[in-house]
Structure 1
Amino acid sequence: MFFGPRHGAAERGVPEETAVQLFELIAFFAGYGFGAAHAHAYALIAYQTAFLKANYPLEFMCALLNSRAGNFDKLKQSILDAHAHGLVVRPPDVNRSGVAFSIGDPGQGEILYGLQHIKNAGERVAEMIVAERRERGPYTSLLDLCLRIGTRELNRRILEALIKAGACDPLGDRGALLSVLDMVSDRAAQIRRERESGQTALFGETIEQFNGHESAADSAAELDASGSATVAADEKLRWEREFLGMYLSDHPLRRVAAELQQRVDTAINELGSHLDGLLVQVGGVVRDVRAFVPKRSTTGQRMAFLQIEDLTGACEVVVFARTFEECAPLLHPDAVVVVRGKVEVGRSGGPVVPDDEDRSETEPAKILAESVYAHDDARLAAWRRDSTVHVRVGPGLSAMLAPLRHAFEQHRGDCPVVIHVDSGTSIEEIALSSEFGVDPGPALERAVEGLVGEGSYRVEIRRARAPERTPRKPAVGSAAS
C-alpha cells in the first residue's frame, strides 16, 4: 500500500515509520482539503464579496436579503446585520415597495420589504401592484387599489394580508381599513360591473371618466370608519410576525430590553459550538410553542419545543416534562420569558458519525431548559451574572487613571475589573479592589473605549458546565434489548 512513498522516502533518508505517518496525514487531508484552483476560486469570491459589502453596503445587503427570503431565521439575521451597518429595512408599502426587496432612498440607507414576501400575497399579485403603480401612479385609497388591480386577483384574503402587514398604511389606519374591507371590496366589484356594462354613475358621468380612480363620494364612504377601534401596537406587531415572519417596525422586547439585559448572560446570536454543554441564561419573546406527549412516555406528561427570539436572533428551546409542568402557563406566543438551560449543538440523539463534528458547525444551537421564568419574576431580581470587565491600556496608564476612575464611578456595580497594562514587551494584570466594581453594559463600554480606544473593553462571562442528564430508566417488566 505504501510502496511508493516508502521507497521514495528511503532514498532521501526518511525513516519508513515517518514516511507512513506523513502519507496517512496527506491521505486524510485529501478527504476534506481543496485543490489550489478550488481554493483560489473561493478566495476570489470571498474578496469580491467583501469588497461589495464594504463599498456598496446598500446594494449588497439588498441582494443578500433577496437570496435569503425563503428562510426567515437567516433573513432576520441579515436584517439585523443591515441595521448594524447603518441601513434600515422598511415595512412593505404598496406605493413604494418592489416585488422583491429593493432599494428605497439611498441617502437614508433604505431597503424596502418586497410585496411578494408577504404571507398569502404571492408573486403574481405583487407584480400586478407594482406594474400598475409604475404605469399610472401611486394608489390613493383602498378602493383605488381594488379598482385598479381587480377583486378577482386581489381577493379578501390577500387584501387582509396586505393591510395587516402594513403595506396599506399610506392608504389609512389598519383598523379603519379592516373595518371597511368588505364594503370596499363590494363597492369595487359593483363599479367594475358597471364599467364593463357601460352604465352611468349617479351624476351622469360614466365610470370611465373617473379614469380608474374612485369618486369623492366613494372616497368619503370608504373613510367613514369612525366607529372602528384603533389597533393596539402589540396587535400590529403580532400581525407583522404572522404575515412577515418577524417583527419589523418595532419589537416587543424593546420596552423591557434594559430590564431583560440584567437577567441574562447570553444573547441568542452568541450561542454556538464554543458553548456546547455549558449552562446559559437567555431571554426573549416566545414565537412558537409545540406541546405534545412523547410516544415513549410512560407517565403521559407533556413536553414542548419552543422558538424564542431576542433582538439578535432566534433559537429552539426543548422543555422536558418535569420543567414543562412547572412553567406551562408562561408558554404562549408573545410571552417574554427567561430560560436557563444547557446548550446543545449538532446532536439529534442518534449515533455519532464522522461528519457530525463538521455538521455541528452549521447546525443551530438549541437549549435544553432547566427552568423558565417570566421576565419580571421576583426570583430573578437577586440573580447576577458571573462576569469580569477587562480593560486593556497602553504604557501611559498614569494619564488614564483619573478619567477611568471617573467612568467606573459613573457605572458602579458589583462586577470586578481587571486592568491589562501593555508595555510593548509584556502585559501586566492589575485586579482592582471591590470598591471599583462596575455595572457592565453598553454605556460603560462606550465610556471606556472613548478614553482608551476601540477594542480596549471586554466582558468575560463565566458559565458552569451542565451536569449530564441521567438516562431514563426502562419501565418495570420491559424486555431487555
Structure 2
Amino acid sequence: MSLAEADILRRAMGKKDLVAMKEQKAKFIDGADAKGISKKIAGEIFISIDKFANYGFNKSHAVAYSYIAYQTAYLKAHYPSEFLAANLTNEFENTDKVSNFLEDCRRLEIEVLPPDVNNASVNFDVMDDRIRFGMIAIKNVGKNAVEVIIKARKKLERNFTSIFDFCINVDTRLVNKRTLEGLVTAGAFDSVDANRAPLYDAIEKALEFGGKMQHSVFSNGDSLFGGMEDLEITEPELQDIKPWSEKERLGKEREAVGFYISGHPLHKFDVEYNSFTNFHIGKDKNINEEDVVKVCGVITGVRKKIDKSGKNMAFFTIDDFSGSCECIMFSKIFANDGGYVEEEESVLVVGKLESSGDAVKIHVNKLMPMDKAREQLTKSINISINKDVVSPEKISLLKQIFEKNKGNTPVFLSLGKNGFHGSLYSLKDYRVKVSEELIKEVTSLFGDGSLRINS
C-alpha cells in the first residue's frame, strides 16, 4: 500500500468504519500478495488489525487506563462519599452524569443533603459520610453569591430565621431576585420554612424589606451588618399559600438545577421500572436500531407542533435514573396517546431507537402512564423472600395482604436460602390486584426488589 492508502486504512480504523474496513481488506491482501506474502498470512494479519480497530490501545495507553481504573475503583470502594462528591462537583453541568451519580448515592445509601442557606457550600462536600449539595450547581447562583451567604451566616453566628432575616443580612446586589428564586425552588430555604410556595411568593417583598433595613442602618451611620441586632425588627407576614404538590416541587427543582434533588418522580414506580424497562438511557451502549425498547421515565421539555398534513405531533425529553434522550411522537401515535404527553408525567415509552452521533432518539410507537402500564401489562407477580432473614410470622402476613388486594393476577412465591433463589411456588389459592397499595405493603415487609411484575 502507498502511504496515502495506508492513511485511509488508519482513518477507517480510527472511526471504526466497518464498510471502509471491508474495502481496505481486499486492497491489503492483494498488496501483500504482490509483495510475496501469502494471502492466508495476509488475511490473518488483517484480522488482527480489524480486531484492534474495534477497540484497541497501544500498551502504554492501556497500562495508564488500567492504573487510573484501579485508583478510581479503590476510592469508590473505600471512600464512596468523597469519591461521589468530587465527581458531582466536577460534572455538575452534565445533568446525565449527575443523575447517574445521584442514583449511585441512592443505591449505596449515601444521603445527599439538599442545599441549605444555613449550611451553605460552594461545591459538593462531605459531612459525616453524607454529601452536602453544592450550591454552585443551582442556576443563577454563582460562586460569589454563595460566598456572600457563607460570610453573612458566619458573621451572624446563628442561623437565618426567615427569608426576611436572610435578605437583611446578605448583599442583595449579589444575591438578587433570580438567585433567590433558584435557592427557594432548589430547597435551600427548607431549614427555614419547608413550605416553598409562600417563600417563593415573598421573594420581591423580602428583597424590598431587606433593602430598606440595610438603608436604615446606613442612614444611622452603621456598617452594613453592625448594629443590626440592636434594632427591633418586625418582619412582614408570609401569605397563607397551599404547599406545592410533590410533582410541582420536583418539577421546579429540576428547572432550577437541571435534575431532581429531594427525590425522583420515578421512585414511586421502582417496581414497574425494574420490571418493564429493557433499555437504560445513560447506560446501555449497544444500540440496535431495529430493536423495540421499553423505557420508563419522566416527560420533560414538551414541544407540540403541527406536521405538514395539519395534524398534531410532539417532541419531548424522557428522563430515567441514568440519563435522558429526545423522543419523537408522530401524528398517528399522537392521536391515540398524545393526551398523556404532559410535563413531569411518569410514563412507559415503547419505540425504536435512532442513533444520532453520541446521543439516541426514540421514535415512539406507544406511550402510557405508569399506573396504566401496570394495569395493562401485568400477567403475574413474583415475590422473592430470603428465609435466612425473614421470619415465618412475617411470611404469614402475606395472606392478609392478598385478602385486602383481591383481583385476577396470579402470584408466584420464591423462597431463597443461603443466597440462592430456591424453588418457585404458584399460589393457586390467591389472585391479586396489582395496585400501588399492594406494592407498597409487600416491599415494606420484605424490602426493595422483593416484588417483580411479569409482563
TM beyond 0.5: yes
Correspondent of 1:383 among 368, 377, 381: 377
Aligned length: 400
1:369 aligns to 2:384 (yes or no): no
Mark the CA change 1:257 to 1:210 in structure 2 (over 3 Å): closer, same or farther: same
The aligned residue for residue 277 of structure 1 is 290
Correspondent of 2:349 among 339, 353, 367: 339
Could you say what secondary structure the match of 1:98 adopts? coil
Offset, 1:49: 0.6
Offset, 1:221: 1.7
1:146 aligns to 2:146 (yes or no): no
Offset, 1:330: 2.0
The aligned residue for residue 221 of structure 1 is 235
Could you say what secondary structure the match of 2:68 adopts? helix
The aligned residue for residue 135 of structure 2 is 115
The aligned residue for residue 183 of structure 1 is 205
The aligned residue for residue 315 of structure 2 is 305
Could you say what secondary structure the match of 1:370 adopts? strand
**Distance in 2, Cα, partners of 1:448 & 1:166:** 32
Could you say what secondary structure the match of 2:188 adopts? coil
Cα deviation, 1:151-210, whole Å, max 9, x if unaligned, reads 2222222112212221122233433433433333223222322333435xxxxxxx5597
Could you say what secondary structure the match of 1:100 adopts? coil
Offset, 1:376: 4.0
**Distance in 1, Cα, partners of 2:294 & 2:176:** 46
The alignment's TM-score, normalised by the length of structure 2, stands at 0.71
**Distance in 2, Cα, partners of 1:147 & 1:61:** 35
1:66 aligns to 2:89 (yes or no): yes
Offset, 1:44: 0.5
1:236 aligns to 2:257 (yes or no): no
**Distance in 2, Cα, partners of 1:209 & 1:434:** 73
Contact preservation (8 Å) 1:91, 1:167: yes
Could you say what secondary structure the match of 2:301 adopts? strand
The aligned residue for residue 301 of structure 2 is 288
1:128 aligns to 2:124 (yes or no): no
Contact preservation (8 Å) 1:387, 1:415: yes
Mark the CA change 1:436 to 1:116 in structure 2 (over 3 Å): closer, same or farther: same
Cα deviation, 1:350-402, whole Å, max 9, x if unaligned, reads xxxxxxxxx7xxx454432112223344x8624236999999xxxxxxxxxxx
Offset, 1:102: 1.2
Cα deviation, 1:282-332, whole Å, max 9, x if unaligned, reads 4333222122345xx3x1333222222345554432211211132222212
**Distance in 2, Cα, partners of 1:254 & 1:36:** 44
The aligned residue for residue 78 of structure 1 is 101
Offset, 1:47: 0.5
Offset, 1:84: 0.9
> Residue type of the partner of 1:177?
L
Could you say what secondary structure the match of 1:228 adopts? coil
Offset, 1:136: 4.7
The alignment's TM-score, normalised by the length of structure 1, stands at 0.68
The aligned residue for residue 10 of structure 2 is none
Contact preservation (8 Å) 2:302, 2:341: yes
Contact preservation (8 Å) 2:299, 2:347: yes
Mark the CA change 1:414 to 1:341 in structure 2 (over 3 Å): closer, same or farther: farther
> Residue type of the partner of 2:166?
L
Correspondent of 2:331 among 317, 321, 328: 321
1:402-413 map, 5 Å: none
> Residue type of the partner of 2:96?
D
**Distance in 2, Cα, partners of 1:149 & 1:275:** 54
Contact preservation (8 Å) 2:168, 2:209: no
Contact preservation (8 Å) 1:90, 1:113: yes
Could you say what secondary structure the match of 2:366 adopts? strand
1:211 aligns to 2:226 (yes or no): yes
1:3-82 map, 5 Å: 16-29=38-51, 31=53, 33-82=56-105
**Distance in 1, Cα, partners of 2:150 & 2:284:** 40
Offset, 1:61: 0.5
Contact preservation (8 Å) 2:313, 2:330: yes
**Distance in 2, Cα, partners of 1:73 & 1:310:** 9
1:160 aligns to 2:181 (yes or no): yes
Could you say what secondary structure the match of 2:235 adopts? helix
Cα deviation, 1:117-136, whole Å, max 9, x if unaligned, reads 11121222122222443455
> Residue type of the partner of 2:336?
E
Query: What RMSD in Å do the two structures reach over aligned CA positions?
Result: 4.6
Q: For structure 1, which runs of at least 5 residues remain unmatched after alignment?
A: 200-206, 349-358, 392-402, 421-428, 463-481
Mark the CA change 1:142 to 1:212 in structure 2 (over 3 Å): closer, same or farther: farther
**Distance in 1, Cα, partners of 2:415 & 2:45:** 48
Mark the CA change 1:267 to 1:96 in structure 2 (over 3 Å): closer, same or farther: farther
Offset, 1:97: 2.9
Contact preservation (8 Å) 1:119, 1:244: yes
After alignment, is 69-78 or 179-188 more displaced?
Answer: 179-188
The aligned residue for residue 21 of structure 2 is none
Mark the CA change 1:42 to 1:382 in structure 2 (over 3 Å): closer, same or farther: closer
Correspondent of 2:118 among 74, 95, 110: 95
After alignment, is 77-86 or 304-313 more displaced?
Answer: 304-313
Contact preservation (8 Å) 2:100, 2:321: no
Mark the CA change 1:373 to 1:458 in structure 2 (over 3 Å): closer, same or farther: closer
Q: For structure 2, which runs of at least 5 residues remain unmatched after alignment?
A: 2-27, 386-391, 403-408, 417-421
Offset, 1:214: 5.2
**Distance in 1, Cα, partners of 2:217 & 2:384:** 74
1:370-449 map, 5 Å: 370-377=365-372, 381-384=375-378, 414=410
Offset, 1:73: 1.6
Mark the CA change 1:40 to 1:175 in structure 2 (over 3 Å): closer, same or farther: same
**Distance in 2, Cα, partners of 1:274 & 1:154:** 46
Could you say what secondary structure the match of 2:204 adopts? helix
> Residue type of the partner of 2:60?
A
Contact preservation (8 Å) 1:94, 1:115: no
Contact preservation (8 Å) 2:379, 2:410: no
Mark the CA change 1:246 to 1:146 in structure 2 (over 3 Å): closer, same or farther: same
